Amino acid sequence: MTGETMAKLLEMIDIDKSFFGVRILDKVNFDLGAGEVHALLGANGAGKSTLVKILSGAYTLDAGRMLVDGRGVDMSRHSPESALAMGVATIYQNFHLIPHLTVAENVCLADFSTGGKRWVNWKTMRRRALDALSAIGLDIDPGRVVRDLRVSQQQMLEIAIALSQNARIIIMDEPTAAISQRESEKLFGLVRAIRARGVGVIYISHRLEEIRQITDRVTVLRDGRNVGTLPVDDNLSFAAVVELIAGREVKMGRRPRATTLGSEFARVEGLRVPGYGDPVAFSVRAGEILGITGLVGAGKSEFARALFGADRPLSGSVRVEGTLVDVSNPSSAIAGGLGYLPEDRDTSGLCMGLSLKDNISLTSLAKSKSAALSVRRDVQLSGRFRKDLAIKSVDVNQQVRYLSGGNKQKVIFAKWLAANCRFLILDEPTIGIDVGAREDIYRLIEDFVGTGRAVALISSDFDEVLSLSDRLLVMSRGRITADLDPGKTDKPEIMSYCLGVSDQSIRHAAV
């Protein structure tokens, strides 16, 4: 089935979108047929999420137009409510279910059954929920609380809710990122059944093996532009798709560093992360920046949390300078010399209601043997780091909630420097910060390892890990699939390992 032979359900034409003067989408065209599964691919930051958020009404567009069933949509009034009314439903990677409500309550959330009365008709709600569940063959009790469901069941429930709302266009964003292979197969069967009903599906994924199984066409975005749309048939080449995703630019300039790497500084052995079956093992040398990269769902952040004890690992050991470190909890990990900058700095990295001073002193206070607080010491300590790291704030008493993203990251760095951290785990340290602040963060990383300590730099930005890393590990589905020399590899090769493409001719096809 191809887009030319089916009725066009959706057309997005010359879509432009910028944020703060930065062009995110540049005259992007995309269409979807009735009964088609159309894959939307691209590296992180390519513009996929922005495009579908415009479709779902979460974002407004700057220019362009959209047609549904050949009729123009008034984009000046387009909203999540109007998108739902025209049959657009989005199933995000992070579910939008209400975890403390029941299945039935989630199914009927948009329209509780009151029968015109002031009270809810619970029998009608249960019947509606059973109808929605049976429509996709999902056998669960409508009275169960959603948080008690497996991830795969929550995924199916999202689809059941979308279909119960008469959705004609369903957006699936990385639907298999957190479920097993067996559960993925069930999901694929459901997608095929949805397609047979004439529903159009926009399928966002980084996994090429899935694309061949269930999609009709694939469109690739790169740097906010549509760089190609291909039919998915026997002639589809993984090499062609990898080339479209990665582009022609295959080398990234290395940042010059005079640091000489020392002997083994830290070793991780047999670390098993909740949700992923295979153990992870690696070592890092003194003065080394170890890059760890992969696509969405690769397990990078889960691994980082387990390494720091934020999520208790199922098994494994961590040694720093030959000493075994207890990583069953963050307190023990900190005592062993580990530090952690999380992907979500606002929620997990900082106490937003506290001052710069209090945030910087928290970890060093936790390691202190004294029961007494020293405000004078904390002011001096935070003042020194504020100056050394060029943190822009009114003073050390300013709440961190009012700092920019780059300055927030510097505060997190400062708290680990204050705690004399020796092995620093950085999860997406430059996400959401401007170019100038990014350069400041890079210098902090280089200065840190320049004193003989070590860093695990976890980033989905290929340019970043190629530029900064002394060694590069690639992760896919919770496994390390490659150990590369950043000076001798390129983005297409990294992408091939991320996608699980092992054939040499395919791996180097975009070079």
Buried b (16+ CB within 10 A) or exposed e, 361-384: bbbbbeeeeeeeeeeeebeebbee
Residue 434 has pLDDT above 60, yes or no: no
SS (H, E, C) 413-473: HHHHHHCCCCEEEEECCCCCCCHHHHHHHHHHHHHHHCCCCEEEEECCCHHHHHHHCCEEE
Give mean pLDDT, residues 6-15.
91
Q: Confidence class of residue 179 from pLDDT cuts 50, 70 and 90? A: low
Show the DSSP H helices in 136-229 as ranges: 151-164, 181-196, 208-214
Per-residue confidence (pLDDT) for residue 507, from 0 to 100 = 43
Strand-pair partners of 274: none
> CB count, 10 Å around CB of 234?
5
Report pLDDT for 509. 40
What would the pLDDT profile of 404-425 be if each residue is shown by its tens digit? 778 889 999 999 999 899 999 9
Evaluate whether 297 touches 206 at the Cβ level (below 8 Å): yes
How confident is the model at residue 3, as a pLDDT?
45
Say whether pLDDT at 95 is over 80.
no
Report the interhelical angle of 375-388 vs 405-418 (nearest 10°).
Answer: 120
**H/E run at residue 41:** strand 37-41
- For the stretch 28-61, pLDDT in tens is 999 999 999 999 988 766 888 899 999 999 999 9
Residue in this structure with the two tokens 């170019």, named with its chain if needed: 435
Most confident of 124-128, 151-155, 214-218: 214-218
pLDDT of residue 26: 94
Cα atoms in the 13 Å half-sphere on the side-chain side of 286:
10
Residue 158: is its pLDDT beyond 50?
A: yes
Task: Give the chain's domains with CATH numbers.
Answer: 8-246 (3.40.50.300), 264-353+419-489 (3.40.50.300)
Amino acid letter, 290: L
Q: In Å, how far are 238, 464, 494, 495, 510 from 491, measured between CA atoms?
A: 15, 11, 5, 6, 9
Residue 216: what pLDDT? 95
Give backbone dihedrals phi and psi of 36, rounded to 5 degrees, phi first: -115, 145
| DSSP conformation class of 499 | T
Q: Find residue 37's DSSP bridge partners.
A: 201
**C-alpha 198, offset from chain centre:** 30
Q: What are phi and psi of 491, to 5 degrees?
A: -65, -40
pLDDT of 101 over the 60 cut: yes
Q: What is the Cα–Cα distance from 327 to 88, expressed in whole angstroms?
A: 44
Helix 405-418, helix 356-367: angle, nearest 10 = 30
More confident residue, 471 or 234: 471
Average pLDDT, the chain: 85
Q: Is the pLDDT of residue 503 over 50?
A: no
- How far, in Å, CA of 423 to CA of 447, rounded? 13
pLDDT, one tens digit per residue, over 316-363 is: 999 999 999 999 999 999 999 999 999 888 888 899 899 999 999 888
CA gap 269, 282 in Å, rounded = 7
- Read off the pLDDT of each residue in 257-282 and give the average, rounded to a whole number: 86
DSSP type of residue 102 = B
Closest CA to 157 of 173, 136, 176, 179: 136
Rounded Cα distance, 162 and 38, in Å: 18
Name the percent of the chain lying above pLDDT 90. 43
- The predicted-structure confidence for 383-392, as pLDDT tens digits, reads as follows 999 988 888 8
